[in-house]
Structure 1
């Protein structure tokens, strides 16, 4: 999940398209396979409901809509033909919203106000808040709902379970740095949290955020033939993202700490669902906070927005360790998404199913790879056994067996299958051009693709027409038929992100680029907390390396307000830097406050404007400074995805 801000514009309504007979048959088959008569998840999702907001929307003080609770009201009754019935069921569960009691008088949750869930634990003197959502506005609304309906107590602790923004971004909606300092409020987080949180998606952030606009369905309308949510939750809030530094770090497993009188046994679980993550057990309540290592869905071992591959082996080992430590006594298990599970037998069924699902995908991928099967071959044939696959909590609403198997292959073997024909393939435009030529021209491909579309062969139709679109991006007939195929694949998809990707691609083919409210990567609060080294790494990525080749630049930088200094060199077309250093042979020394550097990074000013207005000064060759700034690229967010 990437940080959230509001881009210009709104998504246009999706172009309606009926489900074909093939799509209806695929969805009907799943109705027969899964136990849809099991209503226990709906009972758990509604259990303990106390209240919800009177308003349909959470807004900023100026009236800007931060989160629209009513946008998923259409999720009622049985699934329409245009939706996978299993995803429709999961989306109905995710759309349940309000304040819920989890443990009588002691643990509460707010659900359905953002992508994630915010939990509250009653301490001796106040509320310990776990995972304060994505944005200040949604977190504040959730806390106020708790205070209005349970008890108006102060915040006496904050726990960030992991480094994804939907679990910390609303922290300044529930407390302030001044309150934290004055009252000694502990801010608990796993080892590495702060660095991972502020740098998440920065280096590759533009592409990650653009792809996130597909993954979370930001560019398509919500509705029976549009986005149903993400599978992991509903969708992201578009408010103010903030962060505070932890005061208590969890580095060990186990690590026992007492927060406002409540003893908690923490487990440090990095490298599975997030680079920095923790879970914790509360002996007093026999309650496990499972974070995002355990969910009511198969999670991602690779997220389609783009990120480092995750380890199914670690997922399975962390869950197994949890079973061994607390499985004999736990009575309630609640997490960062979805609804809780009550009862020891029910919890162990959930935990063991989740553990074995990740273990099966990881180990079977490796077994097949060691027999010589390639990534695509493994993903095509790997299926969970019925004992796992017929349990809703193991279904691929967010991750999928297919792309998770590919992720485990990539984790160990990378992108190359070993077949030398795939070692130096043509890029999409050149490959598409040759494909169309070999097939006898675009018209011939489209004619065959239409026949395959009529036969329900949507995957091959998409493959063939993708070549035509990259060879002839103005071919409207090819784009429209490809959009139709992607739409049917979206209607069949059980994974929320798969559905959103298919429908977003179809919309872009039909309508072109339509700017929308979508996750971005950097809020002012995040930027101001960037470690200097991370910021300079980002500058190094922005350097236009071919244009920099042949240039020699050496600059010193001094930031008086924070006492930092560093040197930057450009040689051989790359940028290098050294912190806490000043070069003797520098072309110039630039002096500016860190606050000015932050303003430059946020686009509020430029380096040259800062020099012109005196907020930055140059001692030496000012042309070298201008040359360096001129080599830094800016990235266009709304680039094409499904066309060249």
Structure 2
């Protein structure tokens, strides 16, 4: 979301949300917040420890192992992955020598075949989204947690699961601790919910965290089925939890507070899905709906629905594409002109490239940065020009200061750096 003080909002959210904490939330259950991009949870059994997620790097995993040893004096024998994202299992190598079993779920729906053919572009776009080329001051945070350890020369250390369940619910008793493991697709198809009935603690992975979620990741990826995610949130709400421990952001404590917080989070997702589908059925385009649909004020003002990670506008566009595909129903768009030809014709109508470039510079002077970007793209598509790249980079940097989403901020800043390098400035 763009806001005149977006940078400050993101900075303030980061400072208040990720204070380093290792907290015993109830007897024998510890919650680790702010020491990695993701959280970790460890549970003391009779002779060993059950660990849920491992932080995001080997170095941070080593620190986690040290805290567990100092706190409990017991080894980690069981490791649970709430899902397969690298920031939740990057520290697993620290526990490889002592762990007996590593448990995960198989994805409910498999990714599209040949997705591996997109590794290069997804890696490049992922680096922009997460701000890997940016300094701490440029990046500020990663929205749902501190920056990943790989930004500071640390390393991921993955260890494969030894048990991968393909059913939706598994009940286990491990070293005196009762666990109910449930597959609840949402941000990831292999998402695991961990219910500790003896402790009234629910570990929900990334299906809830205290800001607007990534219903669409701008690095690119398959549709995150929003209807299924809403169903998974209903599953979370069905448990009589007194403590909710997410994979990112702070714990939520108290049965009524959990019901209110997760209920509002669920209702926000349902609102976007319902309103987008209704608008699509009325024949509106993705652009129209992205401009129109906004959370009602009673939800938009809630501190745990701020757009510091995902973005509501991106969610609307993703829902549209998932349900109706790329075509918006307008026959003009069935066979559009090639970008270069269209840009050349538009420049002719606008009085030529020089006049359009002047209009782009005027837009920049007026702080009309989005219009400046669109004019720059017209000019560059018709005729590549280093001066246009420099102007576009300046507009991107300024938009980054208005962006509340860490992912959006990173993408603006990273692309600006790339454009300056192409233009021969870096």
What TM-score results when the alignment is normalised by the length of structure 1? 0.61
Q: 1:258 aligns with which of 145, 166, 173?
A: 173
Q: Hey, what's the Cα distance between the residues in 1 that align with 2:382 and 2:418?
A: 17
Provide the residue aligned with 2:236 in structure 1. 322
Provide the residue aligned with 1:379 in structure 2. 290
Inter-CA distance 251–200: structure 2 relative to 1 (3 Å threshold): farther
Give, in angstroms, the shift of residue 451 of structure 1: 2.4
Does structure 1 residue 485 correspond to structure 2 residue 399?
no
Contact 1:155/1:175 (<8 A) preserved: no
How many residues are matched? 418
Provide the residue aligned with 1:228 in structure 2. 140
Q: 2:192 aligns with which of 261, 278, 281?
A: 278
Give, in angstroms, the shift of residue 201 of structure 1: 6.5
Does structure 1 residue 438 correspond to structure 2 residue 349?
yes
Aligned to 2:345, the other structure's residue is in SS state helix
Give, in angstroms, the shift of residue 285 of structure 1: 1.3
Provide the residue aligned with 1:244 in structure 2. 160
Q: Where do residues 415-454 of structure 1 align in structure 2 (5 Å cutoff)?
A: 415-454=326-365
Give, in angstroms, the shift of residue 132 of structure 1: 1.3
Contact 1:186/1:259 (<8 A) preserved: no
User: After superposition, what is the alpha-carbon deviation per residue over 1:160-187, rounded to whole angstroms, capped at 9, x for unaligned?
Assistant: 11121222232121123xx44xxxx232
Q: Hey, what's the Cα distance between the residues in 2 that align with 1:336 and 1:281?
A: 14
Provide the residue aligned with 1:309 in structure 2. 223
Inter-CA distance 429–117: structure 2 relative to 1 (3 Å threshold): farther
Inter-CA distance 391–445: structure 2 relative to 1 (3 Å threshold): same
Q: Hey, what's the Cα distance between the residues in 2 that align with 1:366 and 1:389?
A: 20
Contact 1:94/1:231 (<8 A) preserved: no
Aligned to 2:182, the other structure's residue is in SS state strand
Q: Hey, what's the Cα distance between the residues in 2 that align with 1:194 and 1:421?
A: 35
What TM-score results when the alignment is normalised by the length of structure 2? 0.91
Give, in angstroms, the shift of residue 138 of structure 1: 1.8
Give, in angstroms, the shift of residue 394 of structure 1: 1.2
Provide the residue aligned with 1:214 in structure 2. 128
Give, in angstroms, the shift of residue 339 of structure 1: 1.4
Q: Hey, what's the Cα distance between the residues in 1 that align with 2:397 and 2:341?
A: 26
Aligned to 1:284, the other structure's residue is in SS state coil
Q: Hey, what's the Cα distance between the residues in 2 that align with 1:471 and 1:406?
A: 27
Q: 2:251 aligns with which of 328, 340, 343?
A: 340
Contact 2:90/2:158 (<8 A) preserved: yes
Provide the residue aligned with 2:264 in structure 1. 353
Q: Hey, what's the Cα distance between the residues in 2 that align with 1:425 and 1:145?
A: 59
User: After superposition, what is the alpha-carbon deviation per residue over 1:253-277, rounded to whole angstroms, capped at 9, x for unaligned?
Assistant: 4x3211221111222113x211211
Q: 1:129 aligns with which of 36, 51, 56?
A: 51
Inter-CA distance 96–194: structure 2 relative to 1 (3 Å threshold): farther
Q: Where do residues 238-637 of structure 1 align in structure 2 (5 Å cutoff)?
A: 238=150, 239-247=155-163, 249=165, 251-253=167-169, 255-270=170-185, 272-323=186-237, 325-326=238-239, 329-476=240-387, 478-512=388-422
Q: Hey, what's the Cα distance between the residues in 2 that align with 1:204 and 1:420?
A: 30
Provide the residue aligned with 2:34 in structure 1. 112
Q: Hey, what's the Cα distance between the residues in 1 that align with 2:332 and 2:378?
A: 18
Q: Hey, what's the Cα distance between the residues in 2 that align with 1:236 and 1:427?
A: 40
Q: Hey, what's the Cα distance between the residues in 2 that align with 1:389 and 1:292?
A: 20
Give, in angstroms, the shift of residue 335 of structure 1: 1.3
In our comparison, the structure showing a higher alpha carbon Rg is 1
Provide the residue aligned with 1:91 in structure 2. 14
Give, in angstroms, the shift of residue 334 of structure 1: 0.6
Aligned to 1:125, the other structure's residue is in SS state coil
Provide the residue aligned with 2:105 in structure 1. 190
Q: Which runs of 5+ in 1 are unaligned?
A: 1-22, 29-82, 515-644
Inter-CA distance 173–89: structure 2 relative to 1 (3 Å threshold): same
Provide the residue aligned with 1:27 in structure 2. 4
Contact 2:68/2:74 (<8 A) preserved: no
Give, in angstroms, the shift of residue 427 of structure 1: 4.2
Provide the residue aligned with 1:627 in structure 2. none
Q: Hey, what's the Cα distance between the residues in 2 that align with 1:416 and 1:351?
A: 34
Q: 1:147 aligns with which of 69, 72, 78?
A: 69
Does structure 1 residue 202 correspond to structure 2 residue 116?
yes
Aligned to 1:173, the other structure's residue is in SS state helix
- Pairwise CA RMSD: 2.4
Contact 2:69/2:75 (<8 A) preserved: no
Give, in angstroms, the shift of residue 220 of structure 1: 2.3
Inter-CA distance 243–195: structure 2 relative to 1 (3 Å threshold): farther
Inter-CA distance 414–440: structure 2 relative to 1 (3 Å threshold): same
Aligned to 2:249, the other structure's residue is in SS state coil
Give, in angstroms, the shift of residue 407 of structure 1: 0.7
Contact 2:103/2:161 (<8 A) preserved: no
Aligned to 2:316, the other structure's residue is in SS state helix
